[in-house]
Structure 1
Amino acid sequence: MNSSSVLCADVIIVGAGPAGSAAGFWCARAGLDALIVDMADVVLGSAELPGQGRDKTCGDGLTPRAVKALQEMDAGHLLDGHPEIRGLKLHGFGGSITAAWPATGAFPTRGSAIPRSELDLALLQHAVRAGARFVGGLKLSDATLDTPHSIRELSGTRSSGESVVVRGRHFLLAEGVRNGIARQVGVQWLRELVHGVAARSYVSTPRGDEPWIHSHLELRDDQGVAQPGYGWVFPLGADRANLGCGALATSARPAKVNTKKLLEQYATQIRGEWQCGEPELVKSALLPMGGAVSRVSGVNWATIGDSAALVNPLNGEGIDYALEAARLVVQLLPDAARNPDGLRYVWPNVLREHYGTAFSLARRLAIVLTMPGLLSAVGPLGMRGPVANQMMDAAARLMGNLVSPEDSDLTARAWRAAGGLSRGADRLLAADSRPLFGQPTR
């Protein structure tokens, strides 16, 4: 018979990605006993033994917004030795445009790119040094509820076969796309709304120190037919880059594209320019976006990161939101412990306050972009038209999640105004009547 054990903490954090590790750090900073649990056999490492992190399908890019979030959790040093990304270079439809990160506003002018296996490990080590605890190789598979909205305990199995029960006052679910526990407590992706499909690889290239993220908005198959997707190259330094491609989809307009095959075609398309080798370590995944989930919290639990669909529908970026949301939810825990409704209503309201306007508009624009032939029709105007540079500067800022509430320039005002109209439309249109992040405002 397998042995069993019980683990207890103030806050149980399921998942050791950026959201989970950031939550562990902020819990420790607030004096809360936090236990981070992950199914991967992560090795934290020591002076004698190098660490070994977990991997994820990801572009590995860090926008200036993500850089700011790292700096706020005293983790800016994790960028040391990694590329300093200045902005975006957009290509396609007969044109190329360079758009630097804006020098004004609330965010730094530096981005970066770090392989997720390295970033996730570094953030987890940072959380543990701050005082969080970590247990790897533990797959939590079952949730026991006190009420339909409150978790009593979680149970699962270590890689050794030992049964484990995990108990806490609060549970933060940062499981990413797997979402096993979250599904059991009622979290579902709303796939009729926009979601992403993507494939990622690593390639060798002498341009690994290139200080720009490159995005190709026009991908064609071997017959020359434009495909409904886009490609990216994130230079990682040391003659290496992250090469990937993605596409937007809804259940009504699914992405009828094999992303792994499209990635191979993309590598062929740019091989001459980048002198890149064959794609290696290819991974693909589905990605929830724009707050399109059925619910995000209960009385003593909340979802963060990809589990809460905290991903920009226009670019697939989620690391910045994961880091920010971790801090926001931890700030709510002391009051939630004294409130009979706990996190059930306050967490979706906080998410809507911070991301609702931008996500509503981005989600609506992304759905429009899934219309067949639309990108091919408007792409040449955006890349080669008389106002192409101004349009792409604004697009780079929006794709980089770089509009803050404090910004008062024309682009920011226009984005917020359009977002307000989009949220109004969300409430009126039956096809999109469910609110962002699932639950009604109390």
Structure 2
Amino acid sequence: MTSATLPTETDVLVVGAGPAGSAAAAWCARAGLDVVLADAATYPRDKTCGDGLTPRAVHELSRLGLEDWLRAHTVNQGLRAHGFGQTLHLPWPGGTLPAWGSAVARTELDDHLRTTALKSGAIGVEDARAVDVRWDGARVAAVVFERRGARRDGGRAVERFEIACRRLVVADGVRSPLGKVLGREWHRDTVYGVAGRSYVTSSMTDDPWISSHLELRDEKGAVLSGYGWIFPLGTGEVNLGVGTLATAKRPADIAIKPLMQFYADQRREEFGLSGDLRMPTSALLPMGGAVTHVAGANWALIGDAAGCVNPLNGEGIDYGLETGRMVADLLVELGPDAIGLSTAWPSLLREHYGEAFSIARRLAGLVTVPWVLPRFGPTGMRSELLMTLALRWMGNLVTDEDRDRAARVWRWAGRRSLALDARPPFG
């Protein structure tokens, strides 16, 4: 799209075309709103991620009409958990959610989701980095973008342009540069993640189980507060990565990429790994709604930008898809002036995720205490019943419709945890 054909105004402007932004754009467009979906990258583009799609994510993709597309990729039936001398096969619990998961490289998944949004009626703008906003009182009147283009002398020229909007959805990822402009703050005293990801050829690329090694050790043999994963992609490769938990009080003093290589070397024979690790990347992850100022008079943060990442497993795709749908529904409900958005959106996030995020980040914070995992990990891994419950709770595979005992216990624990929070999720 040339500068002459760039849209200059829209009803809803979505910044960031990952799962959250593309879902928001698709649902807004399907509701009849004029939507522009802008991103700093040119698609397809890569994203640091484990690429795993839990039943919760599968459910949201199915709502978008993508189940058949997803089933054409790899389908997995649950988690193979390794650790402390045990290996357990834990099927996805099902219930009100699908009983299957998948894994699709983000290069392909995000491109397909963006295409889905464009087919739904959104207008796409690529290679446009949001750098500032123009205010109209307390409201965002327009977003200022920069685009770099080639000059005749071989240098790079910077083109600045604006897109005016009545409503703004910010989905620009974990660092959320536009969110910072709007006042978003990430609180690192709450548990956060440090993760690395790579791709490697494997003879188990069609394995129907995703694998997690809950006993992650460094080269000195110390147990770390995290896990390693190997997620089959059905393409001849697996996504291999490691992640650890940290807080400002107990930061993660590790080098992620060397740890990932060490983990891969340990698993080469078992998983038929061959060749070098490809495309290794790493990232920091705000988790459990550990951000404040997630909405204003006519703007809202969603997905990773709002800290919607599960503190117990690092999953964020499902929450991105969910928050994209939720914010679209709310914008339609509130009308073109979005009256009440500044309070309605944080309240809606707390209603949907407050209890689960509160108890999850409290438990994740305990795992950062050095002696906790070595002491309690072996006991947990000896109980398949306990680990089955842990899989459901850690994956937040509990919906509002679930009425079984495990769901009731999880919600009860969440309510008690939330009552103890000095700063609740999104608060």
Q: Indicate the TM-score class for this superposition, using the shorter chain for normalisation.
A: over 0.9
**Distance across 2 between alignment mates of 1:227 and 1:364:** 17
**Of 72, 84, 87, which aligns to 2:75?**
84
Please state how far the C-alpha of 1:349 moved relative to its aligned partner: 0.6
1:205 and 1:241 in contact (8 A); partners too: yes
Listed as ranges, the matches of 1:123-142 within 5 Å are 123-142=113-132
CA shift digits 1:115-157 (9 cap, x unpaired)? 000000000111111111101011110112223x421211121
1:435 equivalent to 2:424? Answer: yes
2:173 and 2:303 in contact (8 A); partners too: yes
1:228 and 1:257 in contact (8 A); partners too: no
**Distance across 2 between alignment mates of 1:235 and 1:107:** 21
CA shift digits 1:339-387 (9 cap, x unpaired)? 6743100001111111111011001111111111210110110112xxx
Q: Counterpart in 2 of 1:157?
A: 146
Question: In terms of mean alpha carbon deviation, does 225-234 or 336-345 score higher?
Answer: 336-345
Please state how far the C-alpha of 1:336 moved relative to its aligned partner: 2.8
Q: Counterpart in 2 of 1:429?
A: none
**Distance across 1 between alignment mates of 2:381 and 2:71:** 34
2:223 and 2:373 in contact (8 A); partners too: no
- Superposed CA RMSD in Å reads 1.6
- Counterpart code for 2:392: R
Q: Counterpart in 1 of 2:8?
A: 7
1:371 equivalent to 2:366? Answer: no
Normalising by structure 2, we get a TM-score of: 0.94
Q: Counterpart in 2 of 1:414?
A: 409
1:114 equivalent to 2:114? Answer: no
Listed as ranges, the matches of 1:19-418 within 5 Å are 19-42=20-43, 53-103=44-94, 105-147=95-137, 149-160=138-149, 161-277=158-274, 278-337=276-335, 341-384=339-382, 388-418=383-413
> SS of the residue aligned with 2:254?
coil
**Distance across 2 between alignment mates of 1:158 and 1:339:** 29
> SS of the residue aligned with 1:307?
helix
**Distance across 2 between alignment mates of 1:133 and 1:248:** 38
**Distance across 2 between alignment mates of 1:13 and 1:338:** 15
- Counterpart code for 1:83: T
**Distance across 2 between alignment mates of 1:225 and 1:192:** 24
1:216 and 1:230 in contact (8 A); partners too: yes
> SS of the residue aligned with 2:205?
coil
2:167 and 2:337 in contact (8 A); partners too: no
**Distance across 2 between alignment mates of 1:208 and 1:338:** 48
**Distance across 2 between alignment mates of 1:367 and 1:329:** 29
**Distance across 2 between alignment mates of 1:150 and 1:367:** 37
2:312 and 2:395 in contact (8 A); partners too: no
1:304 and 1:326 in contact (8 A); partners too: yes
1:6 and 1:164 in contact (8 A); partners too: no
- Quick one: structure 1 residues 183 and 199, their matched pair in 2 at CA, closer, same or farther if it must change by over 3 Å? same
1:78 and 1:122 in contact (8 A); partners too: no
CA shift digits 1:76-97 (9 cap, x unpaired)? 2331421111010111111111
**Distance across 2 between alignment mates of 1:258 and 1:409:** 42
2:227 and 2:243 in contact (8 A); partners too: yes
Please state how far the C-alpha of 1:400 moved relative to its aligned partner: 2.4
Please state how far the C-alpha of 1:6 moved relative to its aligned partner: 5.9
**Distance across 1 between alignment mates of 2:303 and 2:69:** 20
> SS of the residue aligned with 1:220?
coil
1:21 and 1:124 in contact (8 A); partners too: yes
- Counterpart code for 1:261: P
CA shift digits 1:306-355 (9 cap, x unpaired)? 00011110000011111111111111113433667431000011111111
Q: Counterpart in 1 of 2:419?
A: 424
**Distance across 2 between alignment mates of 1:84 and 1:254:** 36
1:230 and 1:245 in contact (8 A); partners too: yes
> SS of the residue aligned with 1:137?
coil
- Quick one: structure 1 residues 381 and 14, their matched pair in 2 at CA, closer, same or farther if it must change by over 3 Å? same
Consecutive unaligned residues of structure 2, counting only runs of 5 or more, are 150-157
Q: Counterpart in 2 of 1:47?
A: none
Please state how far the C-alpha of 1:55 moved relative to its aligned partner: 1.0
> SS of the residue aligned with 2:268?
helix
Consecutive unaligned residues of structure 1, counting only runs of 5 or more, are 43-52, 427-432
**Distance across 2 between alignment mates of 1:359 and 1:416:** 11
Q: Counterpart in 1 of 2:154?
A: none
> SS of the residue aligned with 1:345?
helix
